[in-house]
Structure 1
Amino acid sequence: MNEIVDKMNENEIKSIFNKEIFNKTSKIIEEKGLLIENILLLLKRIGHLKVLKGILLYGFEKISLNKIFEKMIIEEEKKKERKNEKLLIDLCECYISLNYLLSPEIVSICVHCLLKVAMRKEENEEIQKEVEMALLELSCIDEFNEIEQELYLTEIKAIIKYHQEYHNLTQLAYQSAWQFLIYRLHTDKSLEEVIANELHFAREATRELEELTKCVDYQIKEEKEKGKNTEEMSLLLRWLQTSGKFLFYCRLRNEEYSVLIESIVKAFREAKDNCRGISSECIESFSNSVNNRNVKVEDLLKRGAVCLILEEIHRPTLNDEMVYESLTFFMNISERMKEKEDFPFEEAKRKRLKRKMFEKMEEEGFEDIITSFYELLDFLNESFHHDLQLDISDYFVDV
């Protein structure tokens, strides 16, 4: 069954594993006395693929099977003797991977349980796979779920630092550890010092992005190599998504910021003709990063992000989402460039940068491009729930 599930595409998974089937399964468990352990392995596999492939399965939290999971997790956690650790781990992995809305009480139990697994340092392949699975499930706990630092910070720091010294984790496990931590920034800004300066996320992400960018073969044709290539592309996409969250949330700037921006530009240039999903993620990262006042516009210009988006916006194959992200990027840059500095030296520097930005946009015929998209602005606002300006002058830097 696992082999069949592995070969399913997104639509097939959504059509088969739906609310109706989950409710029937719950009924069988309740009426026929079927042991929950008999379906846990399959549900774990579904949850695993859901996370890896970025599949959205809504509604699991509303069905009775989920209530069974929650009850079993609480009961197993409360046991003082004869606690079934394996069952508890399986339940926690299923609960996190299949749910969208998570109970704070259950999340606390799951984080504690899965971090115990992730802390294991044995080097055999089976243990490494268990560690990878635990960290992967932790990585999909949404950024809007608030988790107290004492439940995870000491452990996740130890996991990341140990890998940085001994390289004991798989690539996916290491990325997942970082994703879990970066997502906590949304509700806890006190993590910035740890993430930026103690654990050096930007430096680590830069190295991983550059290694994956070199490894992925976008022209691959041999069927036997496609599986590995797909895994590497999926991992590259996850690092880009996490880097985008970091650039958006982390207000504590250091010199590693600009190098990370350059590595995202490199990933875009490698993928732009063959993998529009990766290209789109890069554009979205830059669009979000402009909202962070500690991401310098000068770095975006110097490291190639501005030129990249100006080139991209000329393409006839540009989709609506990338148009939206590109326009948002330039509109936000224009707003940033209009903010006057308090000190004479910084103000002079801002004016020089404005001039460079204006010249670059003028050179690329940016005004004509915006004019061509003018009729689409209402549609883009409606589609992406954002307030793009209708005044063309708002997309330019006033020099």
Structure 2
Amino acid sequence: MIFAGCTAVVKTQVKSVAENFIEMFDGLEDCAEREQKQKILEISSLMEEMDRKELCCVLAFHLFIVIDKMIDEKKLTLENALVLLKNIGYCKEMKYIRSIWFEEPPLIKIFQKLIINEEKKKEEKNERRLIDLCECYLLLNDEEIPDELLSIIVPCLLKIASKKDKTEEIQKEVETALLALGNIGFWELEEELYLKEMKDIINYHQKHHNLTRLAYQSAWQFFIYRFFNDDSLEEVIANKLHFAREARREIEELTRCIDWKRKKEGRRRKEAKEVRIIKRWIQTFEKFFLSCSLWNEEYEEIIGSIVRVFRASKDKYREICKGCISSLRNAAQNRDVKVDDLLKGRAVDAVLEEIQRPTLNGKIAFESLQFFTNVSRRLKEEADGETDEAKRKLEKRKIFEKMEVEGYEDLIISFHEIFYFIDKKKNINIICCC
């Protein structure tokens, strides 16, 4: 057995779906190529059923080293391995797992070499194999990507992502390519490598609606990561492609699609794809608020949308709830986001609601306190030409009145002690607003 000795460990840690995965994976090496393809489809379905902890557990058992060994010993064809690895990468992305195990040699080095060698071919180049290699590499790799590889991978996948056919097969191809591109992260890219093509992809969708929801979110995620290192893109993002307007519409439509109060059925409930996409949008907002500066009415409405997602998710989807609080914390930190907009969007109310939960998560508590820390600091800053002293005092009074109405007279005072403790322990420079 490939995973000999692992099943007993899994049995004590996670539910039976992981055991089924291991047993089915163990049987791959004894199958003919055609039967392997069918088993890989079944394995992929099992990965979809796994929760985040289960998939992490399975990946931790040197899965990529085992796959590399099977390829080397010709017990698994490269084509079948690519299908399997792409499905692993898709699930890893949708379940928010950092794939540290893929970075173990030799598989990542082999993929880098295969991509470069396939690109160098002239007459015998296998375009489908190159695409699969590029998608697998991006979906599974969370570390630095060499410039030589980016110059091959980005144009290759943008070519696929630019397909406009609305057939289910093409939409899936486009979705996978954009999902992979969205996982490039913060690595810098020359605008010549992507800007025109990605603008065209988003513009075309806004007119013809040819992308899936996941594909569209992934296209924006790719753009926001580029913006983090190149603020010259904000004019394109804000005023030409209307990120705020589009993002708000997407998450509000997704919010209406989800039964937020649905109870678990039996031992597990497969998470709806819409829930996963909302998680990705909230993560994108977290990154966006760190750098945005062209604050306008479209952006103001994002605050309200985040608060609505927070209220819908806070009882059943605590991970989304935490992401919402983190996004609001980053918004409060950004000097271009007006404190008054946080009030109008009911962000202050939302964070206060979270703090008074009887079972408050420690990480969410810290994010919530940081939100008020950021608001405190902003209220203490000198007026900037748009906000005069009278308006600043009015905003400050509104915030404290909300806290008093909710019964937070004592908490206002205790914030001083909490901030002082964080300042001493975390080396954070905090200025309270009294």
Common fold: TM-score over 0.5: yes
Separation (CA, whole Å) in 2 of partners of 1:11 and 1:345: 47
Q: For 2:337, what is the secondary structure of its paired residue?
A: coil
Separation (CA, whole Å) in 2 of partners of 1:45 and 1:245: 26
1:93-118 per-residue CA deviation (whole Å, 9 max, x = no partner) reads 11111111122321231111111000
Among 143, 157, 161, the alignment partner of 1:118 is: 161
Residue 379 of structure 1 deviates from its aligned partner by: 8.7
> 2:48 maps to which residue?
6
Separation (CA, whole Å) in 2 of partners of 1:369 and 1:78: 64
Deviates more, 1:96-105 or 1:34-43: 34-43
TM-score, normalised relative to structure 2: 0.83
Residue 192 of structure 1 deviates from its aligned partner by: 0.6
Question: Structure 1 residue 105 and structure 2 residue 148: aligned?
Answer: yes
Among 234, 239, 261, the alignment partner of 2:276 is: 234
Question: Structure 1 residue 287 and structure 2 residue 329: aligned?
Answer: yes
Instruction: Show the 5 A alignment for 1:61-210.
Output: 61-101=103-143, 102-143=145-186, 145-210=187-252
Separation (CA, whole Å) in 1 of partners of 2:250 and 2:271: 15
TM-score, normalised relative to structure 1: 0.89
Residue 248 of structure 1 deviates from its aligned partner by: 2.2
Residue 223 of structure 1 deviates from its aligned partner by: 5.7
Q: For 1:249, what is the secondary structure of its paired residue?
A: coil
Separation (CA, whole Å) in 2 of partners of 1:279 and 1:37: 40
Separation (CA, whole Å) in 1 of partners of 2:331 and 2:65: 42
Deviates more, 1:23-32 or 1:130-139: 23-32
Residue 364 of structure 1 deviates from its aligned partner by: 3.5
Instruction: Show the 5 A alignment for 1:1-399.
Output: 1-18=43-60, 20-30=62-72, 32=74, 35-101=77-143, 102-143=145-186, 145-221=187-263, 230-341=272-383, 343=385, 346-366=388-408, 368-369=410-411, 387=428, 389=430, 394-395=431-432, 397-398=433-434
Q: For 1:387, what is the secondary structure of its paired residue?
A: coil
1:52-84 per-residue CA deviation (whole Å, 9 max, x = no partner) reads 111222142231111111001001112222211
| Contact 2:224-2:288 at 8 Å conserved across structures | yes
In structure 2, relative to structure 1, the CA distance for the partners of 1:188 and 1:107 (3 Å cut) is same
What residue identity is the alignment partner of 1:121?
A: K
Separation (CA, whole Å) in 1 of partners of 2:345 and 2:181: 33
Deviates more, 1:48-57 or 1:272-281: 272-281
Separation (CA, whole Å) in 2 of partners of 1:83 and 1:215: 43
| Contact 1:261-1:303 at 8 Å conserved across structures | yes
Separation (CA, whole Å) in 1 of partners of 2:63 and 2:206: 44
Separation (CA, whole Å) in 1 of partners of 2:232 and 2:335: 17
Residue 125 of structure 1 deviates from its aligned partner by: 0.8
Residue 340 of structure 1 deviates from its aligned partner by: 1.4
> 2:35 maps to which residue?
none
1:231-267 per-residue CA deviation (whole Å, 9 max, x = no partner) reads 1111111112112222222112121111111111111
Separation (CA, whole Å) in 2 of partners of 1:167 and 1:272: 31
Q: For 1:274, what is the secondary structure of its paired residue?
A: coil
Separation (CA, whole Å) in 2 of partners of 1:152 and 1:272: 37
Q: For 2:388, what is the secondary structure of its paired residue?
A: helix
Separation (CA, whole Å) in 1 of partners of 2:69 and 2:332: 50
Residue 25 of structure 1 deviates from its aligned partner by: 3.3
Separation (CA, whole Å) in 1 of partners of 2:366 and 2:231: 28
Q: For 2:62, what is the secondary structure of its paired residue?
A: helix
What residue identity is the alignment partner of 2:118?
A: E
Deviates more, 1:149-158 or 1:268-277: 268-277
What residue identity is the alignment partner of 2:361?
A: N
5+ residue gaps, structure 1, are none
Residue 228 of structure 1 deviates from its aligned partner by: 8.1
Residue 365 of structure 1 deviates from its aligned partner by: 4.3
Separation (CA, whole Å) in 1 of partners of 2:174 and 2:295: 31
1:196-247 per-residue CA deviation (whole Å, 9 max, x = no partner) reads 11101110111111111122102225869x9786111111111121122222
Deviates more, 1:84-93 or 1:250-259: 250-259
Q: For 1:290, what is the secondary structure of its paired residue?
A: helix
Deviates more, 1:341-350 or 1:313-322: 341-350
Q: C-alpha root-mean-square deviation of aligned residues, in Å?
A: 2.7
What residue identity is the alignment partner of 1:192?
A: E
Separation (CA, whole Å) in 2 of partners of 1:283 and 1:237: 12
Separation (CA, whole Å) in 2 of partners of 1:155 and 1:210: 27
Deviates more, 1:76-85 or 1:12-21: 12-21
What residue identity is the alignment partner of 1:338?
A: K
| Contact 1:19-1:60 at 8 Å conserved across structures | no
| Contact 2:51-2:95 at 8 Å conserved across structures | no
Separation (CA, whole Å) in 2 of partners of 1:300 and 1:193: 23
